[in-house]
Amino acid sequence: MSINTSAVSHVRLTVTDFERSRKFYDDVFGWPIAMAVPDDADDATREKLGFLFGGCIYNLGHCLIGLRPVGDDRFDEDRVGLDHLAFAVDNKGELDSAAAHLDALGIPHEPVKDIGIAYILEFRDPDNIALELTARK
């Protein structure tokens, strides 16, 4: 028997500085927030949203991406766990626009690369998590 799945439901990224990471993801992607603890939340609300661990969840429509603050460790794709996280875009033109957007934000990135079956744009978040935008040919 195998488990039949159809899509990724959600991914939660652990980050060292939640406010810094939230600003990065807000500025780069502009995803809507699905859940976050309101600044003026009462104790009951904070307890109910305790599963957020002081972070937030973005709604991409087809998938949720969460940010969870943790200690002061730094991401390393050469350790067991996550290598990188890739997001699909429709075409190479969108990658070129994304590269210009990253430039405007002062976020370093690799040039758009042709890897045969797709074009990719690689960059990193403030915790060094490797991110990629991919446009299939």
User: What secondary structure does DSSP assign to 14-64, as a single string?
Assistant: EES-HHHHHHHHHHHH-PPEEEE--TT--HHHHHHTGGGTT-EEEE-SS-E
10 Å CB burial of residue 71 (0-12, 13-18, 19+) is exposed
Measured distance CA(129)–CA(4) in Å, rounded = 29
Model confidence over 75-84: pLDDT tens digits?
Answer: 888 887 889 9
E strands along 81-117, which residues?
A: 85-88, 113-114
Model confidence over 14-63: pLDDT tens digits?
Answer: 999 999 999 999 999 999 999 999 989 999 999 999 999 999 999 999 99
Domains of the chain: 1-73 (3.10.180.10), 74-137 (3.10.180.10)
The pLDDT score that the predictor gives to residue 77 is: 83
Q: Would you say 98 and 90 are in contact if contact means Cβ atoms under 8 Å apart? A: no
pLDDT bucket at 122, cuts 50 / 70 / 90: very high
Model confidence over 94-121: pLDDT tens digits?
Answer: 999 999 999 999 999 999 999 999 999 9
Give me 9's structure tokens. Answer: 């439901």
The pLDDT score that the predictor gives to residue 56 is: 97
Helix (H), strand (E) at residue 98:
helix 92-105
Better-predicted residue by pLDDT, 72 or 30: 30
Measured distance CA(15)–CA(102) in Å, rounded = 20
The mean-pLDDT minimum among 66-70, 76-80, 88-92 falls in: 76-80
10 Å CB burial of residue 55 (0-12, 13-18, 19+) is buried
Q: What is the mean pLDDT of residues 3-20?
A: 93
Better-predicted residue by pLDDT, 7 or 80: 7
Strand order in the sheet with 10-15: 10-15, 64-69, 56-59, 33-36
pLDDT bucket at 5, cuts 50 / 70 / 90: confident
